[in-house]
Amino acid sequence: MLDEKKCETVANYLLRRGRPLDIVRYRFHNGETSGRHVLQYLKSFQNEDGGYAHGLESDIQMPVSSPLVTWAATRILRKVIESPVTEIQVKMLFDYLRDTSEFVNGRWRASIPAMNDYPHAPWWTFDEETEEQTWRYNPTAELAGFILRFKSPSSNQTANNLYTRAEKIIRAMIPVITADDYNLTGHELSNFTTLYKDLLIAGRLDLLPHDFGDFLQTKVKQALTNDLADYRAGEYGNVPSMFIMSKDNPYYQENKDVAEDYADFLEETLMKEGYWNPNWTWGQEELPPDVLDDWRSSLTVENMIYLKGLKRA
């Protein structure tokens, strides 16, 4: 359990060294400010084409919009938007997803050619032959869910094409990922758990098999059981916060032990200065100092949200 003094240390660290967006996100989740304030800072990462860039996803340091960084924006937007149908930032995002040339073979690309021209983590280096095989339905599944949850199907015909596209994407990919020989990666699985929640809220479970919820429960259990010891060994792998952020999450009860153990681990690894470090590098290179600072900032907010959801902070 993080006591009041440690929580204050975290807050002070963020105020000194955190990104403005992360500071306001932290304040929002503590009930100290409104979602409109978060939107104001998130907007600074959005380009005129409606996509997001500028290091919002800290391992991609480029000014060019990409589906992956736009996906990162949707994860923040889900938690703060109150009127998505009228929110101009969301309308611009939909325009980007509709018009971008990075929608190829029925998927939004995770890595794109422009990434090679700017500082980035090595796994984001674009290669035409391996891009689709490596990232598969990440982030396409989650972007499709966001569209069906927040976009009105009764929009004008031009805008409605995106809604129809999202339906088509989901119908095509579900038989693929539920096949016995398909190995869902942890990040892909996280995409699909978010997709499922989006479709549940949108009233569009008709797009999924009736037992898809049970399918996800099994996959989350397998992902967390298989990687139980990885985070304690300092290895990069699946962690509960990829799927669970509170005790009322549908995956919490089936994975309670590992979820609580991860909370213990976070409490143990909080640095005395009030932040958490990423447990990865850029291959053989250490993270650039500015990227390291950004990751410390965003990870600290995410970890505090996790601990708060498990009533540990």
- At 3-33, the pLDDT tens digits run 999 999 999 999 999 999 999 999 999 999 9
17 within a domain of the structure (yes/no): no
- At 274-297, the pLDDT tens digits run 999 999 999 989 999 999 999 999
233 within a domain of the structure (yes/no): no
CA distance 299 to 295: 6
The crossing angle, in degrees rounded to 10, of helices 67-80 and 88-99 is 150
Sign of the CA dihedral running 52, 54, 55, 60 = positive
127 within a domain of the structure (yes/no): yes
93 within a domain of the structure (yes/no): yes
CA distance 122 to 263: 30
**112, two tokens:** 């794109």
18 within a domain of the structure (yes/no): no
Flag whether pLDDT at 263 surpasses 80: yes
156 within a domain of the structure (yes/no): yes
Report how far apart the first and last C-alpha atoms of the chain are (Å, whole number).
Answer: 6
**258, two tokens:** 């590992």
The residue segments making up the domain with residue 162 are: 46-209
Average pLDDT over residues 199-205: 97
For the chain, the domain total comes to 1
249 within a domain of the structure (yes/no): no
53 within a domain of the structure (yes/no): yes
Least confident interval from 5-9, 81-85, 119-123, 161-165 = 81-85
